[in-house]
Amino acid sequence: MGCEDVRVLLIYPVFPPTFWSYDKSLELVNRKVLLPHLGLITVAGRLPQTWEFKLCDRNIREVTEAEWEWAEMVIFSAMIVQKPDLLAQIKEAKRRGKCVVVGGSYAPSVPSEVQEAGADFLVLDEGEITLPMSVEALQRGETQATIRTEEKPDVTLRPIPRYDLLELDAYDSMSVQFSRGCPFQCEFCDIIVLYGRKPRTKTPAQLLKELDYLYELGWRRGVFMVDDNFIGNKRNVKLLLKELKVWQKEHQYPFRFNTEASVDLAQDTELMELMVESNFDAVFLGIETPDEESLKLTKKFQNTRDSLTDTIDTLIRAGLRSMAGFIIGFDGEKIGAASRIIRFVENAAIPTAMFGMLQALPHTALWHRLEKEGRLRVDNSKLDINQSTLMNFVPTRPIEDIAREYIEAFWTLYDAEIFLDRTYRCFLKLGAPKCHAPFKFPSWVDLRALAIVIWRQGFKRNTRWKFWHHFFGILKHNTPVWEHYLTVCAHNEHFLEYRQIVRDEIEQQLQEFLVREKQETRQIVNV
């Protein structure tokens, strides 16, 4: 394999069903995946452009025989939840005699597993630095290497991702990144380990060029700013938004934006207004828990400064629908954590609330503390972390209590009637959008999706009365948000199924855990 003209196959491994997979909701609009992986198409933009690239997202389709035969090098990027398929695909690539390169957020955490599967090159940490180093290693004739760096690169040098490699019609939304890093110090978070606590941002012109490229490719749907904290550098994000709102207006608002931010967004009126004027309509917040003692223990101090309920209310009234993440299982957590989370979500009127049992991610402050306390589980090297897995450490209260409360929270909040009521309360007070794209007739796919949602929720299920009452209530009291409202109603098509997956898998794992625990107790007694 020469280094001047290499045929590269980029493979993104399978995601198991998760909170964010939205499988049943995406089926309605004939799409396969919520978002594309930004890392692989950025890698393709950073490698020599004399190389040839093909991309296969295995969440859309299988790798074809023609692609396997064509490729000289196979590059993988994956998160922890994708580990099973990642390892299987590495072995398949090696069986076919390919040079295998692995990066992403999972490989730096447990590089030994990736190496044992057969990876030739581990290109870890931030690719702006390590990718050129890997090309140099190839040019020297090296056949294996682990390439790392502690240096944090200037992201203004980052190339435009190769969006042209994606099967665009298969995705519901598109991924764009403005910044890396987060200024906070949450004990359980691996973002500050991977990318540091000093947020680094692109220039406004740089990001607008990426949007220009998406526009030229014909993209006209949602765009998710995948920053771990979009407002980590408020000064720079305001500079971006001031130019973005002009770009959006000039292009007749082709994109709707969502992102993730810290709760201090609600303290900055100018920032919220700029986001809404740029056609942001939703924001994901890491609430984690309404229990202030747990927030302090995990060093999420930014969530203790103001009333979290008031924070959510401020964002909704500004026009930003709030999504929120919650964690159960913090040290010192008192019984009834699930009930308190349910009560908070209902009072705050948050339609979409993500749950997870606390997990110790490799090399985080939480990981190191639990390791020192001897509380990491013995099989922790075999990481398998998802919303449907038990905790990977010994908690301070019985794990069966935590697991049952977790199931209760998921099951209750995504009950069809409870979800409709909560969504209705949110949209009654949601600030009206300030951006208005020209009218266009809905596609046949969108009309079909609307008909299915109306049939299921407005006729087939017991929700029929609530569905019509709430829909006409939105039309009467907050007409501009009706389309956004129906879109969120459709999301529960996914959650109704996913809550059953969570219940089944957690109950099975809990039973297996209790059996193992009983066997270990017997062995100790016999000794």
Q: What is the CATH number of the domain that holds 311?
A: 3.20.20.70
| Predicted local confidence at residue 380, as pLDDT | 44
Question: How far apart (Å, rounded) are the C-alpha atoms in residues 342 and 506?
Answer: 19
In a domain, 211, yes or no: yes
**130: pLDDT strictly greater than 50:** yes
Give which of 34, 39, 48 is closest to 12, Cα–Cα. 39
In a domain, 104, yes or no: yes
Kindly provide the b/e burial profile for residues 121-135, where b requires at least 16 CB atoms within 10 angstroms of the residue's own CB.
Answer: bbbbbbbbbbbeebb
**264: pLDDT strictly greater than 60:** yes
Domain boundary among 82, 113, 147: 147
**383: pLDDT strictly greater than 60:** no
pTM of the prediction?
A: 0.94
In a domain, 288, yes or no: yes
Residue type at 331 in one-letter notation = D
| Mean pLDDT lowest among 281-285, 349-353, 359-363 | 359-363
| Mean pLDDT lowest among 38-47, 137-146, 154-163, 516-525 | 516-525
| List of residues 6+ apart from 43 with CB closer than 8 A | 10, 75, 77, 103, 127, 131
**386: pLDDT strictly greater than 70:** no
Is residue 62 within 8 A of residue 17, CB to CB? The reply is no
Mean pLDDT computed over 340-354: 97
Mean pLDDT computed over 5-33: 92
**146: pLDDT strictly greater than 90:** yes
CATH number, domain containing residue 132: 3.40.50.280
Mean pLDDT computed over 460-466: 96
In a domain, 309, yes or no: yes
Question: How far apart (Å, rounded) are the C-alpha atoms in residues 352 and 58?
Answer: 27
Q: Specify whether 142 is located in the same domain as 167.
A: no
Mean pLDDT computed over 146-159: 90
| Predicted local confidence at residue 381, as pLDDT | 47
| Predicted local confidence at residue 388, as pLDDT | 72
Q: Specify whether 252 is located in the same domain as 268.
A: yes
**345: pLDDT strictly greater than 50:** yes
Q: Specify whether 138 is located in the same domain as 167.
A: no
Mean pLDDT computed over 2-21: 88
Q: Specify whether 135 is located in the same domain as 183.
A: no
Mean pLDDT computed over 29-57: 95
In a domain, 451, yes or no: no
| Predicted local confidence at residue 252, as pLDDT | 97
**527: pLDDT strictly greater than 80:** no
In a domain, 416, yes or no: no
Average model confidence (pLDDT) across the chain: 93
| Predicted local confidence at residue 1, as pLDDT | 58
Q: Specify whether 93 is located in the same domain as 195.
A: no
| Predicted local confidence at residue 2, as pLDDT | 56
Question: How far apart (Å, rounded) are the C-alpha atoms in residues 472 and 349?
Answer: 19
In a domain, 525, yes or no: no
Q: Specify whether 121 is located in the same domain as 189.
A: no
Mean pLDDT computed over 36-52: 95
Question: How far apart (Å, rounded) are the C-alpha atoms in residues 277 and 262?
Answer: 19
**379: pLDDT strictly greater than 70:** no
* Band of residue 194 on the pLDDT scale cut at 50, 70, 90: confident
Q: How many domains does the chain contain in total?
A: 2
Domain boundary among 360, 388, 416: 388
Q: Specify whether 240 is located in the same domain as 372.
A: yes
Q: Specify whether 121 is located in the same domain as 89.
A: yes
| Predicted local confidence at residue 172, as pLDDT | 96
Q: What is the residue range of 224's domain? A: 155-388
Q: What percent of the chain has pLDDT over 70?
A: 97
On the CB side of 255, how many CA atoms lie within 13 Å of its CA? Answer: 30
Q: Which of 61-65, 102-106, 127-131, 138-142 has the highest mean pLDDT?
A: 61-65
Mean pLDDT computed over 424-448: 93
Check residue 364 and report its DSSP letter. S
**29: pLDDT strictly greater than 90:** yes
| Predicted local confidence at residue 517, as pLDDT | 82
Q: Specify whether 24 is located in the same domain as 53.
A: yes
Q: Specify whether 348 is located in the same domain as 206.
A: yes
- Residues linked to residue 352 through DSSP beta bridges, in sequence order: 323
Domain boundary among 147, 167, 196: 147
Model confidence pLDDT, tens digit, residues 314-330: 999 999 999 999 999 99
Q: Specify whether 111 is located in the same domain as 162.
A: no
In a domain, 2, yes or no: no
Q: Specify whether 143 is located in the same domain as 256.
A: no
Task: Calculate the CA 448 to chain-centre distance.
Answer: 27
Phi, psi at 511, each rounded to 5° = -65, -45
Cα separation values, 326 from 104, 168, 258, 330, Å: 25, 31, 19, 11
